[in-house]
Structure 1
Amino acid sequence: MKLFYSMIWLCATSVGFGQVNTYEISFENAVHHEAVITANFPDIPTDTLSVRMSRTSPGRYALHEFAKNVYNFKAFDGNGNPLTVIRPNPYEWKISGHDGLVRIRYTLFANRGDGTYSQVDETHAHLNIPATFMYAPQLRDREINVHFKSREDLGWKIATQLPEVSEGHYMAPNLAYFMDSPTELSAHHLREFEVPDTNGNKQIIRLALHHNSTEDETDTYFEKVKKVVLSEKEVYGELPTFDYGEYTFLACYIPNASGDGMEHRNSTILTSTRSLADGGMERNIGTVSHEFFHAWNVERIRPESLEPFDFEEANMSGALWFAEGFTSYYTGLILCRAGLISPEKYVEGLTGTFNYVWNSPARQFFNPIEMSFQAPFVDAATSVDPVNRENTFISYYSYGSTLGLALDLSLREKGLHLDDYMKLVWEIYGKTEKAYTIGDLHQTLNQYAGQVFGDTFFNTYIYKSGMPDYKKLLFSVGVALKQDSEIPYMGISVELDGDGNGLIKSNPRMGSPAYKADLDKGDVILAINDAPFPKTEKFEAFLRQFQVGDSLSIRFERYGIEKTTKVILEQDPAYTIFLAEKEDSMPPADVLQKRKQWLNIE
C-alpha cells in the first residue's frame, strides 16, 4: 500500500478542489457496543454513488462480511433530503438522486476486539477500519479526513498510524492507507523511543498499551518491546522508513479482547486476554516479535499476488510460506537473540512445530505454495461443514517456519546465513517496494548462494513437498533430534464425554493405528481390552502401560450402535529437539561457535 504522493501535495490539492471524503464516528451507546458513523462524499461525478462495507481486511486472506453488523442506514443530499437507496447485494448500497453530495449515516454493532473486527464498549473503541467504515470504490484515490469523537468522560485517548490534522481529526491520503490504519481509543498507557535511520533521521517507535496493569509493568514490558525492535533491525541492518516517521504498537491486553496480532504498514494490533501480571509479560511478547518483523516482510517486501489488496474478494497468495512462515521462524529466534528467552527454551520450543509439519500426511497433497493457497479457507475463516484439515492442511506459518530453519542452517554450512538473504530481498524488493513473485525469491537465492543451492532448495522443498535432513542440519549447531522407540501411539485425540467414555475429538491421522482400525471422529470408546475407558488419567498417559506392537480390543459406539475393532499400537512418530549436551557430551568448540553465531549470543 505504497503512498505515491506526499501528504503536503495531497492536502493542498484536495482542499483546492474540495474532494475530501469526511467521516465522523461517535460512541454515545458504547455500553451496548454501538458506534454511529456519518460520512460525506462531495463532488460526486456520477448520478449514482455506490458505497460498500469491505468483505476483507488487510493482513487477512478470508472473507469476513462486515456488512452484517450495519443497520439503521440512511442517505441524504447536501440539503438534508432523503435519497433513494437500492441494495443490489449484501455488501453494497446504491444511492441516487443526489445534488453532488451524499451524506450517509448508520449504526455499527462491534464486539470483537482482535486484529480483524472492531469492538466498542465502555473500556475502549477498538477499530479495524474495514470492519467500521463504509467506502465509495469510485472515490478510492481521494484524501480522507476522519473525526474520532472520543469519550473524554471515560478517559479515552487516540492512538493510530493516521497523521493528526487537529485534535480528534486525522487524515489518510487515500482509501488504501485509511483501510490499513487501525485505531484505538482508550485510557491506554503511552511509551515511545527514537531510533535513527540510515540517514541519521530519527523515527519514533511507540507503544499504546491498553491494559489493567501498572505503570511499572508498562515500563518493564516496553523494555522488552525495545529489545525486539532493535534485534529485528539487526537482521535487515536498518528500520523501514515509516510514513510520517512513526510506528505504533496498538496493544489491548484486557479480558474482553480476543487473542490476535495483525500487521499494518506503520502499526500493528496486539490483543490478548492475558494481563502482564498473569503471564502476559512473557507470553505476549512473541506476538510483538512476529508482527514487527512484518514491517519488512509482507508490508514492504510484498507479494505481487497481494497487490493491490482486494476489499471485495478473498485475497489468495502462494507466497505465505515466506511472508508468514519465514516471519514465524524469526519470531522465536529474535526473542532468543534479544535475551528474552534462553537458547535452551528456544531450541526446545522448535519441537511442536517440527512434529506438526514433519509428521503431517498433508504433504502428500500440497506443497508450501499450495498450502498458502488455503489461506482464504483457514485464516479466521468460518464454515459449518466438517473438514479434514488434520490430514490435508499444514499451516503456512508452521510449514514456512520449519523451511526457514532448514534454509538458515543449510546456508550456515556454506558460511552464509538467512539474515543476509533477507537483507538482499529487502534491498531488491523491500526498499524499492517492488512486489515480488516466488520466482523472484528463487532467483534471489540463486544470486546469494549459487544456482545449484538455490535450485535444489526451491525444486525440492518449495515447488515440491520434500523435507530436508533436519537431523544433520540441527547436529551442525549442536542440537539433537531424537525419537523414543518405546512410546506407543494410536493416532487420535480422545477426551472424556459426559458419561465417562472416550470421545474421539479429531479425525484420525492417515496411516495411524486408529485410522487402519477404521475408528473415526465422533466415535465413543466404551472399553479397551474389556476394561472401561480410563477416567483418571489422560489417554496418552494411559497408553504408556502398553508396548509398541500390542493389540488392543476396542469396543466403541457410532451413531448409537456398538461396534468392535482391534488396534495394533505403533511407535510414536514424534521427535524431541534439545541442546545436544543435555543428553550427550558437550559438542566440539567449532559446533558451539556455529550455534552462538546462529543464535547471536556471546
Structure 2
Amino acid sequence: MRHSFFLLPLFLFVFSLNAQTNTYTISFENAVHHEADVNVTFTNITSDTLEVRMSRSSPGRYALHEFAKNVYGLKATDGNGKVLNIYRKDPYSWFVSGHNGTVHIRYTLFANRGDGTYSQIDETHAHLNIPATFMYAPKLSDRKIEVNFNVRKDLNWKIATQLPLVSGTTYAAPNLQYFMDSPTEISDFGLREFMVDGQNIRFALHHNGTEEELDTYFEKVKKVVLEQQKVYGELPNFDYDTYTFLACYIPNASGDGMEHRNSTILTSTRSLAEGGMERNIGTVSHEFFHAWNVERIRPKSLEPFDFSKANMSGSLWFAEGFTSYYTNLILVRAGLITPEKYVEGLTGTFNYVWNSPARQFFNPIEMSYQAPFVDAATSVDPVNRENTFISYYSYGSMLGLALDLSLRKENRNLDDYMKLVWKTFGRTEKPYSITDLQKTLALYAGTDFSNSFFDNYIYNSKMPKYSELLGSVGVSLSQNPEMPYFGASVGKTKDGNGLVENNPFLDSPAYKARLTKGDIITQLNGKAFPKDQKFTEYIKSFPVGEAITVQFERFGEKNTTEVILEPDPAYSITLVEKSGLAPKKSVLKSRNDWLGSD
C-alpha cells in the first residue's frame, strides 16, 4: 500500500491529544470459540447519520471477501450511553443515527482462518488481518487511529505488528489506509532481529518448534534479505525504520503469504522440522521482494486501494509475475538451493505457460484483469480455467526470465532494469502505468528492444525464443517425441473406475475424443480400468499414435469413444551437462553472472 501521508514531513506524524482519533479495543476472552469482542469509538461526528462498514476486499488481494459475514451482535450507543437506531441498506454497511456527536459500536467477530486475507482467533493466537477484523467509517478515514489489543496474559501473548507503539498494548496508525495495511500477530511467538543500514529487520515466528530451529531458519531469512538488497542496491526506507515478518507455521494455519508496506504475513501448516526449513523460505523470498515491487513500485491502477469493491490491475504480470521470477532466483544466489535445482524447477511453470491454450484468448495484461475471479476468490459454478487462464504469477515469471536472458545477450540484465524502475517510481513512490514500464525499458535498453518486447509479449501473447535464450546460459530445453499424451487428468472413483478430473485441454486427444470433466471411464480397449496403477503410468505403455477405445459413463448413460495418443508437448529443462555436453567457458560465465551473487 502506498500512502501519501509518508511523503509529508515526519513531524506531522505526532499523535497529538487534541487531534481527532478513532479508537478501537479488541478482546479475546472467548478465543476458544473463535470470537473476539470489538469496541469502536468515533467522536466529533458532525453529520446526523454515521455510516460504518466492513471492508469487502483486502490489500494485496483483488477479489471480494465480504468480511461483514462474520460480524454479529452489533450495538451502538452515544456518548451518554443511549442506545442508537441502526438501519441497513446493503450487506456490509450500518447507518447509525440519533447520536450526540459520539458513537460507540460494539460487535462480536467470528474468525477462524489463519492466512493473509482472513483472521483467526483461538487459544494459540489472535492472527488479525485488519480489514477482516475492524469496522471503519468511510467519512472519517483520514483520522488517526489508536487500537488497544487486550491480550491474553494467561496465554503469554505478545504483539507483533508494523503499527507504531503508543504505550502498553496500544498501537497507532496515521490514517485508515495504513491501519488496514497493518496485519497483527498476537501469540507466544519467538523474535529475531538484525540491523541492515540502520534499519531493523524483525522475524516473529509463531510455531511449535525449538529456539534452535528458529535460529537456523533466521539465518536463511537474513540471506534472502541481503540478496534482495543487492538487486535494487538498497533497502526501502521502511516507516519507523523497521520491517516485520509475521510468520505462523502451525497446524491450524492455512498456507499463504501476503505483502504489506512494512511487514508481511507468512502462514504454513509445515513446521520447520517437517519440511518447512526448505519449503517455507520461498514465500519469505517472494513476499519480501514485494517491499519494493508492488508496495513502493506501485501500479496506478491499485492506487489508492478501495476497500468497498474488487480491485483490478493490468500490471500484475509485472507486480506479481516478476516478483515470482525473482523468488527462487534469489534463493539460488543466496546459496539456499543449487543451480541444478533452480533450473530444473523452471520446468513446471514453463510447461504450464508454454502449452496453455489460454494465450489465444488473453494477453498478460488481460490475464492480470482476471485476478478478482481467481485470487482467493470463490464461486459455486464450474469454470473453464484450464483452457482460458494462465496465472499472472506464472506468466509474468516466464516473461521475467525471457527479459532477463534477452537483456543479458545485450550485456545488460534485469537487475539493473529493476533498479531503474525503483529509482524512477519506487523510491519516489510515484505510481506507474504499463506505458511507464515500456518507456523505462526503452531508456535502459533502447526503443527498438523495448517496443519489440512489449508489442510481442505484453500487448500480444506471443512466446519468446526460450530454446535460444536458455541455451545462452547453458540450459537445455528438450521434448520426448515418444512420450504419449492423453490431454486430461484421470483419477479414480471409489469403486475403482477412472474419473476425468478436469476440463480436457483444448485440442488435446481427450478433447478431440469429446471426453469431458466428470466422465467415468469403465474400460480401456475392452479391459477394466487399471485399479492398481496410476493412469499416467498406464498411458506410457502405449506408443504415440495408438488409438485407445474408451468406454465411459456420462449422466448414467454408457458411451464409447476413441482417443488417439499424441506426442507429449511437455518440455524438460536441465543443465546441458546432464546430457553429456560441456558448455563453453563464455556460456558458463553467462550462467554464473545470471545465477551467482556479487
The alignment-based identity, stated in percent, is 70
SS of match in other structure, 1:89: coil
Partner of 2:109: 108
Matched, 1:188 2:180: no
In structure 2, the CA distance between the partners of 1:285 and 1:74, relative to structure 1 (3 Å rule), is: same
What do residues 129-156 of structure 1 show as CA deviations (whole Å, max 9, x unaligned)? 0000000000000000000001110011
AA at the equivalent of 2:593: Q
What do residues 337-385 of structure 1 show as CA deviations (whole Å, max 9, x unaligned)? 0000000000000000000000000000000000000000000000000
CA contact (8 A) 1:180 1:264 kept: yes
AA at the equivalent of 2:587: V
CA contact (8 A) 1:408 1:418 kept: yes
Q: How does 1:167-566 map to 2 (within 5 A)?
A: 167-196=168-197, 202-566=198-562
Q: How does 1:137-152 map to 2 (within 5 A)?
A: 137-152=138-153
Tell me, in whole angstroms, the C-alpha distance in 2 between the residues paired with 1:601 and 1:247: 23
SS of match in other structure, 2:147: strand
Tell me, in whole angstroms, the C-alpha distance in 2 between the residues paired with 1:435 and 1:477: 34
SS of match in other structure, 2:505: coil
CA contact (8 A) 1:211 1:254 kept: yes
What do residues 150-191 of structure 1 show as CA deviations (whole Å, max 9, x unaligned)? 111001100000000001000000000000000000000000
CA contact (8 A) 2:268 2:280 kept: yes
Partner of 2:564: 568
Matched, 1:43 2:39: no
Tell me, in whole angstroms, the C-alpha distance in 1 between the residues paired with 2:12 and 2:581: 66
TM-score (norm 1): 0.98
AA at the equivalent of 1:316: M
Tell me, in whole angstroms, the C-alpha distance in 2 between the residues paired with 1:47 and 1:588: 77
CA contact (8 A) 1:504 1:522 kept: yes
Tell me, in whole angstroms, the C-alpha distance in 1 between the residues paired with 2:107 and 2:238: 34
SS of match in other structure, 2:397: helix
Tell me, in whole angstroms, the C-alpha distance in 2 between the residues paired with 1:592 and 1:294: 30
How many residue pairs align between the two structures? 595
AA at the equivalent of 1:224: K
Q: How does 1:130-141 map to 2 (within 5 A)?
A: 130-141=131-142
Tell me, in whole angstroms, the C-alpha distance in 1 between the residues paired with 2:418 and 2:296: 12
Deviation at 1:601, TM superposition (A): 4.8
Question: Equivalent of 2:584, from 581, 584, 588?
Answer: 588
Tell me, in whole angstroms, the C-alpha distance in 2 between the residues paired with 1:521 and 1:123: 41
SS of match in other structure, 2:251: coil
Deviation at 1:499, TM superposition (A): 1.2
Deviation at 1:404, TM superposition (A): 0.1
CA contact (8 A) 1:326 1:400 kept: yes
CA contact (8 A) 1:248 1:266 kept: yes
Deviation at 1:230, TM superposition (A): 0.2
SS of match in other structure, 1:11: coil
Partner of 1:11: 14
AA at the equivalent of 1:324: E
Tell me, in whole angstroms, the C-alpha distance in 2 between the residues paired with 1:493 and 1:570: 15
Tell me, in whole angstroms, the C-alpha distance in 1 between the residues paired with 2:328 and 2:573: 15
AA at the equivalent of 2:121: V
What do residues 229-288 of structure 1 show as CA deviations (whole Å, max 9, x unaligned)? 000000000000000000000000000000000000000000000000000000000000
What do residues 376-413 of structure 1 show as CA deviations (whole Å, max 9, x unaligned)? 00000000000000000000000000000000000000
Deviation at 1:11, TM superposition (A): 3.1
SS of match in other structure, 2:495: coil
Tell me, in whole angstroms, the C-alpha distance in 2 between the residues paired with 1:53 and 1:16: 27
Deviation at 1:7, TM superposition (A): 5.8
Tell me, in whole angstroms, the C-alpha distance in 1 between the residues paired with 2:379 and 2:179: 29
Deviation at 1:10, TM superposition (A): 3.8
SS of match in other structure, 1:288: helix
What do residues 402-440 of structure 1 show as CA deviations (whole Å, max 9, x unaligned)? 000000000000000000000000000000000000000
What do residues 477-524 of structure 1 show as CA deviations (whole Å, max 9, x unaligned)? 000000011100010001110111000000000010000000000000
Deviation at 1:537, TM superposition (A): 1.3
Deviation at 1:45, TM superposition (A): 1.6
Partner of 1:199: none
Say what the alpha-carbon RMSD is for the aligned residues. 0.8
Q: How does 1:41-80 map to 2 (within 5 A)?
A: 41-80=42-81
AA at the equivalent of 2:124: T
Partner of 1:83: 84
AA at the equivalent of 2:67: F
Matched, 1:164 2:157: no
SS of match in other structure, 1:88: coil
Deviation at 1:16, TM superposition (A): 1.9
AA at the equivalent of 1:385: D
AA at the equivalent of 2:12: W
CA contact (8 A) 1:482 1:575 kept: yes
TM-score (norm 2): 0.99
SS of match in other structure, 2:200: strand
CA contact (8 A) 2:227 2:597 kept: no
AA at the equivalent of 2:432: Y
CA contact (8 A) 1:7 1:173 kept: no
CA contact (8 A) 1:35 1:108 kept: yes
CA contact (8 A) 1:77 1:99 kept: yes
Tell me, in whole angstroms, the C-alpha distance in 2 between the residues paired with 1:77 and 1:226: 50
Tell me, in whole angstroms, the C-alpha distance in 1 between the residues paired with 2:50 and 2:344: 57
Tell me, in whole angstroms, the C-alpha distance in 1 between the residues paired with 2:134 and 2:31: 17
SS of match in other structure, 2:57: coil
Partner of 1:118: 119
CA contact (8 A) 1:11 1:143 kept: no
Structure 2: runs of 5+ lacking an equivalent: none
CA contact (8 A) 1:55 1:312 kept: yes
CA contact (8 A) 1:10 1:143 kept: no
